[in-house]
Amino acid sequence: MQIDIAAAEAAPGAVADPPLRARPWLRALDNGLGHLVEIPAALLVVAEIAVLLSGVVSRYLLHAPLVWSDELAGILFLWLAMLGAVVAFRRAEHMRMTALVAMAGPRTRAFLDTVALVAGLIFVALVLHPAYEFASEEIFVQTPALELNNAWRAAALPVGFGLMLAIALIRLAETADWRLTAGALALGIGVAAGVTALQPVLSGLGNINLLLFFVLGVGALVFSGVPIAFAFGLSTFAYITLTTNAPSMVVVGRMDEGMSHLILLAVPLFVFLGLLIEMTGMARAMVGFLASLLGHVRGGLSYVLVGAMYLVSGISGSKAADMAAVAPVLFPEMKARGAKEGDLVALLSATGAQTETIPPSIVLITIGSVTGVSITALFTGGLMPGLVLAVTLCALVWWRYRGEDLSHVARPSGRVIGKTFLVALPALALPFVIRFAVVEGIATATEVSTIGIVYAVLAGLLIYRQFAWGRLYPMLVMTATLSGAILLIIGAATGMAWALTQSGFSQTLASAMTSLPGGALGFLFVSAVAFVILGSVLEGIPAIVLFGPLLFPIARTVGVHEVHYAMVVILAMGVGLFAPPFGVGYYAACAISRIHPDAGMRPIVGYILALLVGLLVIILVPWFSIGFL
């Protein structure tokens, strides 16, 4: 699952950026760097769509596969990931947990924001030279199909880190209060020097270092508001360089491996597809049809919200896109009927967790890429668990709205319902088109998003006549930005997972988990509790990248089907992600709804309990996850 964390930070009560002073030459330099990075990042999204679509057309329609299409897509993909990460860094849109930072006073918040910036600066400064070394060694590798020097691909790493370093320096120079900058730099340099001085002691601590670097270190960085990718990266770099004999270039190599899985190309393409369905009016058409069916019953629009999130999630794969497409359409009418703002944002958050398993969920794609589980099986298994949670949410909606007064609401005629159905039919068909293309082998899980993009463009131009050409460039940049933020986390988490594996932690964890009382059921319950916590602290994707390769083999050992296990951990992470006070998904829902986070704190408790009841059903009845495989 992916949430637009930038949106969360723009929510009422969220953490503000540190105050900046207006220096024209700095601002001009910053804007110039922005254009230098954003334009090629947007073009790379277009290029990836074109390359993958060409591969589908050539293979399926012309029966002449392009042997070089995946290779070229992989080369461009690393550049897209790094340039997107640079844009996210410049816009302060890397994922971070700000729940505790938001509770601090304005002065402390400004200092912690500056510390987060300094942490990013230190990380990119540390890995810049190893990234250059890594790219230099790739000169001796040649790609098989295009016969290109692989350094053309690997050069994305030092270029991206170099640009982030330049942006960090500009941002620090722009900070209005030099004391914030000096204090943050002194803190960062002091911690780095202190840890380095302790190297002789750390070398003799063995696996206690795992606790120091990956629990205390990561925890301190994440809770202080440092972006998750940099928190992972700094801890991993420090652990490897100070406690092992491995060269620092290993960190960059593991990051490259994590960001280079071709299956992850689905991330930017599905993000762009989600933006397209909102822009073309397809989401509005689906919501309109559901509202005509259920809008006249008690709690009807709440049922529509649950159903609309289920349908839209089957298209976009991005929770931010889902919520942004549905909430603006439904919330004004729901408020007019007397619904309280807190209940609206609470239900929107709950539906975000409910639909985590609906294909083409980005978390499903990530699980497939890091554990080897079939993406097609995950897509098939993800439909029913989302439906089970929808039923538990609807049961609570029925209870809460059983006394709603709808005397002023007119029931639409069959003619009106039929008309809205015909309008919505092309949009309703899109999830089935995507699923059909994967199941029938027309396109892979990576390529199928391009079919959805073409479908959405044609529907917007020819059917809904709603296609704002002026919004395309911002949408492409937003796609690159969000994708870069996600992929940098995956890269950093891959490095951390490698360090954990090399330390022997995976064997210790496997031994502990397989000896749990209760067998398979006990393992599932412990995993669910663990991933609720991980989902609230780390967010879904880094948690999966870190612990998926460790826990999925254990699940097979104790007799749990890997698809069933995937559904349990995804839904558990979803509950953690959308549950306040730490779940950042909740704050994203508040931002999209323009509702203060405090308003939904009480109403969301009931919805979280409903989700947990649904999760319990999924754990106890594996058929819901694997019955259609």
Q: Report yes or no on whether pTM surpasses 0.75.
A: yes
Residue 103 has pLDDT above 50, yes or no: yes
Q: What does DSSP assign to residue 291?
A: H
How confident is residue 37, by pLDDT bands cut at 50, 70 and 90?
Answer: very high
- The vertex-624 CA angle with 620 and 628, nearest 5°, equals 145
pLDDT digits (tens, 9 = 90+) for 367-412: 888 888 888 888 889 889 999 999 999 999 888 877 766 666 677 8
pLDDT on residue 571: 92
* pLDDT tier at 12, thresholds 50, 70, 90: very low
Q: Is the pLDDT of residue 49 over 80?
A: yes
Q: How far apart are CA 584 and CA 581, in angstroms?
A: 8
What is the predicted pLDDT for the residue at 611?
Answer: 94
Residues 6 or more apart whose CB falls under 8 angstroms from that of 208 comprise none
Q: Which residues of 371-380 are buried (b: 16+ CB within 10 A; e: fewer)?
A: bebebbbbbb
Nearest to 353 by CA among 384, 376, 319: 319
Angle of CA points 397, 423, 473, to nearest 5°: 90
Given pLDDT bands bounded at 50, 70 and 90, which one contains residue 84? Answer: very high
Supply the pLDDT for residue 282.
85
Mean pLDDT of 261-286: 81
How buried is 200 (Cβ within 10 angstroms: 0-12 exposed, 13-18 middle, 19+ buried)?
exposed
**Contact assessment for residue 326 and residue 312, using Cβ atoms and an 8 Å cutoff:** yes
Query: Across 49-58, 97-106, 338-347, 361-370, which has the greatest mean pLDDT?
Result: 49-58
Mean pLDDT, residues 508-536 taken together: 82
- Angle (CA) 43-368-565 rounded to 5° is 145
Spacing of C-alpha 164 from chain mean position? 21
Handedness of CA 594, 599, 601, 602 (dihedral sign): negative
For the ranges 179-183, 565-569, 583-587, the one whose mean pLDDT is highest: 565-569
201, 122 Cβ separation under 8 angstroms = no
- SS3 of 142-178: the string is ECCCCCCECHHHHCHHHHHHHHHHHHHHHHHHHECCH
- Nearby residues of 161 by Cβ (< 8 Å), 6 or more positions away: 82, 124, 127, 128, 131
Contact assessment for residue 545 and residue 497, using Cβ atoms and an 8 Å cutoff: yes
User: Residue 148: its pLDDT value, please?
Assistant: 85
Do 534 and 580 meet the contact criterion of CB atoms below 8 Å apart? no
Yes or no: say if 213 and 235 are a contact pair by the CB < 8 Å rule: yes
In angstroms, the Cα distances linking 363 to 380, 423, 549, 571 are 14, 31, 14, 10
Q: Tell me which amino acid residue 357 is.
A: T
- With a CB cutoff of 8 Å and minimum separation 6, the contacts of 282 are 315, 426, 427, 430, 456, 459, 460, 464
Residue 627 has which token pair? 């019955």
The contacts of residue 204 (CB under 8 Å, 6+ apart) are: none
Q: How do residues 234-273 score in pLDDT, each as one tens digit? A: 999 999 988 888 888 988 998 898 888 777 787 788 788 8
What residues contact 466, with CB distance under 8 A and at least 6 apart?
279, 280, 281, 460
For residue 1, pLDDT beyond 50: no
- Taking the C-alpha atoms of residue 150 and residue 167, their distance in angstroms, rounded to an integer, is 27
Q: Indicate if the pLDDT at residue 2 is higher than 60.
A: no
Contact 132, 152 (CB under 8 A): no
Task: Check residue 321 and give its pLDDT.
Answer: 65
Q: Can you tell me the distance from the alpha carbon of 135 to that of 156, in angstroms, rounded to the nearest whole number?
A: 8
Question: What's residue 176's pLDDT?
Answer: 62
Residue 596 has pLDDT above 60, yes or no: yes
Q: What are phi and psi of 175, to 5 degrees?
A: -60, 130
Q: Would you place residue 563 in the very low, low, confident or very high pLDDT band (cuts 50, 70, 90)?
A: very high
- Tell me which of 51-60, 141-150, 441-450 is least confident: 441-450
**Mean pLDDT across the chain:** 83
DSSP state of 408: T
Distance, CA of 360 to CA of 363 (rounded, Å): 9
Helix residue spans in 462-518 (DSSP H): 472-502, 505-514
Identify which of 271, 304, 302 has the alpha carbon closest to the alpha carbon of residue 287. Answer: 304
pLDDT at 7: 39
What value, to the nearest 5°, has the Cα angle with vertex 626 and ends 620 and 627?
95
How many other CB atoms are there within 10 angstroms of residue 117's CB atom? 28
- Report the pLDDT value the prediction gives residue 594, as an integer from 0 to 100: 74
Phi/psi for 149 (5° steps) reads -65, 125
| Measured torsion, CA atoms of residues 228, 230, 231, 234, in degrees rounded to the nearest 10 | 160
Burial class (CB in 10 A: 0-12, 13-18, 19+), 34: middle
The predicted pLDDT at position 477 comes to: 93
Angle at 625 between CA 622 and CA 629, to 5 degrees: 110
Q: Rounded mean pLDDT of 29-45?
A: 92
Q: Which DSSP symbol is given to 57?
A: I
Longest CA–CA separation in the chain, Å: 79
| pLDDT score of 132 | 94
Cβ count within 10 A of residue 466: 14
pLDDT for the residue numbered 154: 92
Q: How far is CA 516 from CA 379, 527, 555, 560, in A?
A: 30, 11, 12, 14
What type of residue is 453? I
What confidence tens digit (pLDDT) does each residue in 455-512 have?
A: 999 999 998 888 889 999 999 998 899 888 878 887 888 888 788 777 777 677 767 7
